[in-house]
């Protein structure tokens, strides 16, 4: 098959497959710029099963953009609690406020969409394509994987040059479609449901007869990725202080992990093994309530929570807030703290 007829075959098969196999996801019933945007932000770096209940709670509480724009940041973070990548929640609120101030409409153009907080090339393309029907390419992780296999792209897919190759391929293909929005969604849906990372369903895939990886027995090794950076250790020491049924907590800043979430009063945050050892020696008389290992993408967190009567760091004392135990659920905490509270306050 010639390259151009192979491309036409590809587009036609994707569109046809999507027509019969798409999942009935909530934002597909009646797609609006707002629902598509909200869904795309929630599902960045997040699998459908993991984020679906969050999407449903958001759309119920904030059915329209101006309602979301009026929400408090702490409330949004509480709604986002447990989803991870908390800057997404902060940017969601920022963009809602910006757009509402400008009159409440989403821009139609990719470039303008990309100037909004939290909207990068993929999300801008998704809104332009799905909500406004524009003929723009859409490349997410699913599409990258499917392309790498179907077209036999053997350079690492996280390299800038490979990304460029995939984007230009995506652009060429979307131009062959007569329903760009459905074609784009079909592509991602096929990547997600058939061309899965492990054990892809090639036998059910209408593309397999022309798929490079399928023919060359390379499905299991494509796409290629360059190795991940190694994780560093980080040691965090907290105190659990309970006074008159209230717990001492304070808010993190937005310069680091767990942006603007709450945590227990922090005594030490270090990556130095010497500092860690010295600190533990100095505090060996304190009761260790809990030690937790929590793994992030680039670091392994070692949390130690001591029981204490009062907070002894006078410099940070003013940042501490005492919260009723029953009201802890109103504040957003990182997952390790949620688990700690569950254990302690049953």
Partner DNA sequence: CTCCTGATAG
Partner DNA sequence: CTATCAGGAG
Q: Give contact residues for DNA (rule: CB under 7 A).
A: 43-47, 49-50, 82-87, 91, 114, 117-124, 140-142, 145, 191-192, 197-199, 225, 228-229, 256-259, 294-299, 334-336
Residue closer to DNA by CB (options 70, 298) is 298
Query: What's the min distance (Å) between Cβ of 160 and DNA?
Result: 10
Say which of 3, 40, 112, 242 is annotated catalytic: 40
**Which has the closest alpha carbon to 145: 226, 223, 67, 251?**
223
Comparison of 103 and 229: residue with beta carbon closer to DNA: 229
Sign of CA dihedral 40, 44, 49, 54: negative
Residue 170 in contact with residue 126, Cβ under 8 Å?
Answer: no
R_g of the chain, CA atoms, integer Å: 24
Closest CB 157 distance from DNA, rounded Å: 10
9 or 85, CB closer to DNA? Answer: 85
Phi-psi region of 272 (alpha: psi -120 to 50; beta: other; left: phi over 0): beta
In whole angstroms, the minimum distance from the beta carbon of 172 to DNA comes to 20
What Cα–Cα distance (Å) separates residue 36 from each residue in 40, 124, 225? 6, 10, 29
Phi and psi torsions of 303, nearest 5°: -95, 135
Compute the least distance from the CB of residue 38 to DNA, in Å. Answer: 13
CB of 159 to DNA, least distance (A): 11
Q: Which is nearer to DNA, 63 or 197 (CB)?
A: 197
* Beta carbon of residue 263, minimum distance to DNA (angstroms, whole number): 11
309's CB contacts (< 8 A; 6+ apart) are: 241
Residue 12 or residue 50: which is nearer to DNA going by CB? Answer: 50
Q: Which is nearer to DNA, 234 or 308 (CB)?
A: 234
Q: Is 40 a catalytic residue?
A: yes
Residues tagged active-site: 40
């Amino acid at each position: 098959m010639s390259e151009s007829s192979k491309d036409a075959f590809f587009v036609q098969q994707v569109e046809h497959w999507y027509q019969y196999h798409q999942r009935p996801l909530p934002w597909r019933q009646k797609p609006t710029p707002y629902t598509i945007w909200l869904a795309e932000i929630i599902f960045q770096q997040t699998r459908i099963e993991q984020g679906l209940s969050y999407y449903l709670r958001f759309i119920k509480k904030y059915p329209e953009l101006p309602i979301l724009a009026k929400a408090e940041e702490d409330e949004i973070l509480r709604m986002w609690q447990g989803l991870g990548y908390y800057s997404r929640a902060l940017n969601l609120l920022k963009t809602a406020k910006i757009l509402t101030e400008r009159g409440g409409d989403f821009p139609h153009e990719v470039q303008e969409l990309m100037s909004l907080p939290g909207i990068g090339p993929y999300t801008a393309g998704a809104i332009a394509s799905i909500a406004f029907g524009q003929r723009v390419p859409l490349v997410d992780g699913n599409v990258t994987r499917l392309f790498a296999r179907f077209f036999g792209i053997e350079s690492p897919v996280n390299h800038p040059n490979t990304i460029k190759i995939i984007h230009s391929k995506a652009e060429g293909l979307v131009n062959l479609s007569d329903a760009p929005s459905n074609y784009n969604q079909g592509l991602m849906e096929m990547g997600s449901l058939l061309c899965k990372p492990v054990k892809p369903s090639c036998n059910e895939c209408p593309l397999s007869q022309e798929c490079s990886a399928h023919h060359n027995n390379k499905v299991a090794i494509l796409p290629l990725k360059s190795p991940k950076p190694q994780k560093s250790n980080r040691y965090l020491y907290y105190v659990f202080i309970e006074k008159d049924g209230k717990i001492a907590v304070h808010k993190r800043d937005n310069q680091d992990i767990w942006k603007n979430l709450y945590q227990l009063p922090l005594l030490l945050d270090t990556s130095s093994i010497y500092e860690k050892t010295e600190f533990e020696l100095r505090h060996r008389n304190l009761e260790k309530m809990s030690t937790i290992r929590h793994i992030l993408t680039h670091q392994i967190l070692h949390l130690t929570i001591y029981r204490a009567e009062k907070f002894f760091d006078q410099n940070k004392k003013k940042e501490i807030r005492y919260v009723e135990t029953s009201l802890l659920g109103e504040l957003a905490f990182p997952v390790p703290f949620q688990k700690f509270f569950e254990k302690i306050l049953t």
